[in-house]
Amino acid sequence: MNDFAFDVLDIFAEPYAAVPQLTARLRIEERTGRRIHAVALHCQVRIEPQRRHYDDSEQSGLQALFGGRERWTETLKPFQWMSCDTTVQGFSGATEVDLALPCTYDFDVIGSRYLHALGEGSVPLALMFSGTVFTRGSKGFGVEHVPWDCEARYPMPVEVWRRMVASHFPNTGWIRLDHEVLARFADFRARRGLISWDETVQALLAESDEVAL
């Protein structure tokens, strides 16, 4: 039976990716000394929000996710951020491998909303591993599973996320809209002769402020 240990050495923004992506540098150790032919590795990445402190400036952004601060002892629970896969080439002892973490800036995704609300500090991540291990010995190939309890934790700096977002969406963000709502936006923009979507939203906000006054 194999005996694996996983460590996250680093997580960084991938500078040349065509889509928003972080990369996790993993160290994988097989402690029985057996020769590993390959590993089809699966990883679930979870955010564990209860493992960090939040200041008052972050509270308003987190309220929609977790309620008021008085409820956080009950509502700050781990949630899944993403799932990803990679293939690990053969090794003995230990090896290092890069794991691609594809990201989104969609504000309907809880992970993006949480990350956007953070100020400084780190994002408490838990990476939980599973998959299929292919071994090679004197009697041919064998197939085993990555043990269910293989996991690693890593405090990813918030700045890493920000750099990734800034490289793909400089000074911008985006939200999903229903087709009917988007059509009404487009009609409003055309009737007002507005040049950009920024101007369209600003015009609507200005009208809303006038009504509120």
160-173 confidence digits (pLDDT tens): 999 998 888 777 77
Per-residue pLDDT, averaged over 182-205, amounts to 88
Per-residue pLDDT, averaged over 98-107, amounts to 87
Please tell me the predicted confidence (pLDDT) of residue 69.
92
Measure the CA–CA gap between 135 and 144, rounded to whole angstroms. Answer: 8
Q: Where are the domains of the chain?
A: 4-168, 179-212
Instruction: Report the run of H or E that residue 100 belongs to, with start and end.
Output: strand 94-102
- Hey, which CATH number is domain 4-168, 2.60.40.10, 2.60.120.10, 3.30.70.100, 3.50.50.60? 2.60.40.10
Cβ proximity of 194 and 206 under 8 Å: no
At 180, the amino acid letter reads: E
Measure the CA–CA gap between 98 and 62, rounded to whole angstroms. Answer: 31
The pTM of the full predicted model, rounded to 2 decimals, is: 0.82
